[in-house]
Amino acid sequence: MADYLDSVPFSGIIRIRDMMYSVPDPFRLDQGDVSFDAPNSVKDAMIRAVRENRSHYLQTTGLPRLRELISEKLRRRNDIPVDDPDDVMVTNGGIHGLYLICHALLEPGDEVIVPDPEWPPCMGSILAARAVPVGCPLHESLAWRFDLDELASKIGPRTRAIYLNSPNNPTGGVLTRGDLEGMAGIAMKHDLWIISDEAYEDVVFDGAEHVSIASLAGMYERTFSLFTFSKTFAMTGLRLGYVVGRDPKIRERMKKVLFYTASNIASVVQYGGIGGLEGSQACTEEFRRELQGRRDLFYEGIAELDGVLSGKPPRGAFYAFLRIDPAWRRDGAEGGGPSSISWAMAEYLIKRGRIGCVPGADFGLNGEGYIRFCFARERQELLGALDSMRSLFGVPART
């Protein structure tokens, strides 16, 4: 019986996307897609693969050369002690990696501690595996990090794993090495697994450090980490990601889920991944620097909105997760708007201002009262959205 899937919610991001289709000339700050294009190293490798008729079935877990390059990258950049490319499995983007891990690791009723707020597919994947997400707040006052005592207090007899996502979507919070050491201690003490979502590993600002928890002593054995080419190489639509972990039993289960859901990941795209990893890595730093510029430009504009929206610039990822002034006049929204202030604000901005955004409530209970914008869009688009907000909130236009 598959009834349980009826209780797995779709992300509100889908509802927003549908709303955006009816908006003329929208500012698409709702979805987490970068405006950059994939580098030539990726595109040339894919073109070559097409010309050479690399269009046949492949190894289920991915091309050996790709897994070798990924293993080397994980050792060099993430300090993860991968000693065998068999530890790596190529997936249909990070979202697929998360699905594989949840299905291979969780029993029905197992609890997984998740950040609140958090990217909705995290909850969706846990629920689809018939397990139970247990929210643990990320605090704005702690730069959107956990209070580790509070995290430890969420552990109970059914807790099987902690999911962490740093840099975080939607808040942009980055966990420090100290945070991760603390979490490693908690995981070891309670014999828990860690699911580490590192989709934004290359998007850190102001000198923030991205640390992979699997690099800490004794943690590789109890961690499954997921990564993606989507953000690092601007390959969101091409769908390429990977998972790494040492436990062969869990990996064998993941391989079954991968085989039965996809057989193997698209061949041409895997060749593109090889091109990306063999080629110059300069694009990653170029993207990062440009994103920092866009972040600063967006927050300068937000600071001019008389406090209707506010928050500190994030240290990672490419989202502005902004507090909505509780005194904001909801009667500005049609019919008073929905009872959730974040949905009311989102509908107001979309319908009246053509500005795509996602209500904080969609990311968990602790996200209510906030709204998320993606600042990985072109500068012109960000400026257009800011102008639109200024006129909606009655702030004089810039001269």
Ligand X SMILES: Cc1ncc(COP(=O)(O)O)c(C=O)c1O
* Site for ligand X, rule CB under 6 A: 32, 93-95, 119, 165, 169, 197, 199, 228, 230, 236, 241
Contacts of 277 (CB under 8 A, 6+ apart): 66, 69, 70, 73
Nearest approach, Cβ of residue 163 and ligand X (Å): 10
Nearest to ligand X of 98, 386 (CB atom): 98
Nearest approach, Cβ of residue 256 and ligand X (Å): 20
Helix axes 40-51, 267-278, angle to 10 degrees: 140
Nearest to ligand X of 102, 305 (CB atom): 102
Nearest approach, Cβ of residue 8 and ligand X (Å): 17
Q: How far apart are CA 133 and CA 273, in angstroms?
A: 32
Radius of gyration of the chain (CA): 21
Nearest to ligand X of 144, 348 (CB atom): 144
Nearest approach, Cβ of residue 327 and ligand X (Å): 31
Nearest to ligand X of 268, 383 (CB atom): 268
Nearest to ligand X of 88, 389 (CB atom): 88
Nearest approach, Cβ of residue 1 and ligand X (Å): 28
Nearest to ligand X of 119, 193 (CB atom): 119
Q: How far apart are CA 380 and CA 359, in angstroms?
A: 23
Nearest approach, Cβ of residue 387 and ligand X (Å): 27
Nearest approach, Cβ of residue 134 and ligand X (Å): 18
Nearest approach, Cβ of residue 228 and ligand X (Å): 3
Nearest to ligand X of 32, 359 (CB atom): 32
Nearest approach, Cβ of residue 171 and ligand X (Å): 11
Nearest approach, Cβ of residue 364 and ligand X (Å): 13
Nearest approach, Cβ of residue 341 and ligand X (Å): 24
- How many Cα atoms sit within 13 Å of 73 on the Cβ side? 23
Nearest to ligand X of 61, 125 (CB atom): 125
Q: For residue 35, how far is the Cα from the chain centroid?
A: 16
Q: In what order do the strands lie in the sheet with 111-116?
A: 88-91, 241-244, 223-228, 193-197, 159-165, 111-116, 132-137
Nearest to ligand X of 199, 389 (CB atom): 199
Classify the C-alpha dihedral 156-160-166-171 as positive or negative. Answer: negative
Nearest to ligand X of 69, 341 (CB atom): 69
Nearest to ligand X of 119, 146 (CB atom): 119
